[in-house]
Each structure stands twice: as C-alpha cells, then as structure tokens.
Amino acid sequence: MMLRFRYLVPRALGGVTLLAAGAFLEGCRNESVIPTPVVDYYPLEVGTYRAYAVSDTLWSKGVATPANYQLREAVTEKFTDAAGKTAYRVVRARRVSGTDAWADDSVLVVQPQPQAILLTYNNVRTVELIYPLRASKTWKKYAFTTDRVDSVRAFDASVEQPFTTPGAAPKTYATTAIVRDLQPIEANDGLLRRGGYLQVFAQGVGPVLRRRYAYETFYTTTNGASVITPTVIQVGRSRLEVLIDSGKL
C-alpha cells in the first residue's frame, strides 16, 4: 500500500522547554496567537468516537507477520483534573472486523490547552499539537515530563494543505497538519536502522492517520558476524492507523 505523502525534513531547529507547572510552551509565547479553536484539529465532545483501520506488521529474521483490526477512540467523560484544567477521558476499544463487538483496550486522557493539545497514556504525557500552526515549527514531545529523554516534534514544511489517506477507500481532507517525530541518527541512519512517527490532523475532524515504524536491516550470524541487507527488513515493526468512521456513540 502506497502512502500519498512526501517525507519532508523540517527546516526549523528551534524547540520549546518545560517551564513552571502550567506554563505555556516557550516556542509559542512570543508569537501573535491566532485564535484558532482547539476543536479545529482535535475535536473533543463527550459521546463521540473516531474509528480506525489498523495494519500492524512484525518482522523477525526477515519474515513479516501482518495483523489487521479496527481501533475505536470514544470520548466518554469531561472532567477537571487535579490542576483545575479541563480534560477528556477517551476509551480505546478494539475488534478484528466490523461484525465483531468492541472490546475495551485502554484509556487515555486528552487535555486541550490554549496553545497545545496534551495526551496522557500509560502515565506518560506528550504534546500532540501546538498552536498556532507554523510550517516546520518544532517543539518537545515530552515537554511536561521530567523523567524521559525528550524528542522533537515538528510540523511539515507546509501546513493547512490537502491530504489523501491511503487504502482501498481513500479520502481527501481539504485542510490538514502533518506532525512528525524527528528521529536521531542512531534510530534512522538510512542503512542499518530506519524509524519514524507521524500524525495527520484534519481541520474539523481530528487525527485521520497515524504511522509509526522501526526497522533494522541487519542480523548477526551464529558465529557473531553481522550481515547487512539494506533492502530487506530483518527485525522491526510498523503500524498504520487510518480513520474510517466517526460520529456519535
């Protein structure tokens, strides 16, 4: 399946840092803030859901094992957290096919901030989006977490452009923002290892595509020798989630 987007390396190398608790992201504080409603790129309303078709593949010794299923994210509760901020409880459910019943899988918390969207999963908080949207702008993924090695996220070199999802039933969204995790060289040297993560957010819809992958193109023989196979994935995992449905529960 061919993805219909280009891999663009963001130009800006600036970022944001963790300030005092509850502070805004440093990368945004000196800009003229465009009054873009949070709901524009990550709508949050109790009783709504987004459902995704998921293609998951594992590689072991050059052999790929695919798995396909569906994932639903349902907004089930709006509440005020311990810091007095508005938050939404989102329940993830999983099923193999459209005829199966949904089975709850996990829970995450999404918090709309004046200049950011924060997501907490497995007690780890990440900065999913920042406002205003700026082409090639970067920020820290773990800006509100002190016990992790931080990584950098960035908008693509263009924002608010159309995007077409891949698959048998492609859909084009008129206005989107593509966000990527910039990979360090040790995770993406182009030869031994390749890795990446991106999300596509559509205006008025929310996340419409997520893709993550991590490949290794080498293996070690029984006598300790390393064999490099640049065009063959020996070990790795990829996951593609494409929005297929949304609405009211």
pLDDT (tens digit per residue) in 101-120: 999 999 999 999 888 999 99
CA distance 194 to 211: 13
The answer to whether the beta carbons of residues 75 and 92 sit under 8 Å apart is no
- Does the N-terminal peptide bond of residue 132 adopt cis geometry, omega within 30 degrees of 0? yes
CA 147 to chain centre: 21
Q: CA-CA distance, 109 to 178, in Å (whole number)?
A: 21
- Strand-pair partners of 238: 57, 213
Cβ atoms of 139 and 25 closer than 8 Å: yes
Residues in the chain, pLDDT under 50: 1-35, 38
| Alpha-carbon 99 to chain mean position | 27
174 neighbors 161 (Cβ within 8 angstroms): no
Inter-residue long-range contacts of 19-27, CB under 8 Å, 24+ positions, other chains counted: 21/83, 22/83, 22/85, 24/113, 24/114, 24/115, 24/116, 25/115, 25/116, 25/127, 25/130, 25/139, 25/140, 25/143, 27/130, 27/137, 27/138, 27/139
CA–CA separation, 224 and 102 (whole Å) = 46
Looking at residue 13, what is its pLDDT? 31
The angle at the Cα of 147, spanning 144 to 151, to the nearest 5 degrees, equals 65
